Amino acid sequence: METAYIETPLGIASISGDEDGITSVSVTKESSEKPSTKIPVILQDGALQLQEYFQGNRTDFDLKLNPAGTDFQKKVWDELLNIPFGKTTTYLDMAKRLGDPKCIRAAASANGKNPLWIIVPCHRVIGSDGSLTGYAGGLWRKKWLLDHENPVKQQSLF
The DSSP H or E segment spanning 36 is none
Residues with catalytic annotation?
Answer: 122
Establish how many alpha carbons lie within 13 A of residue 143's alpha carbon, considering only the half-sphere containing its beta carbon.
Answer: 6
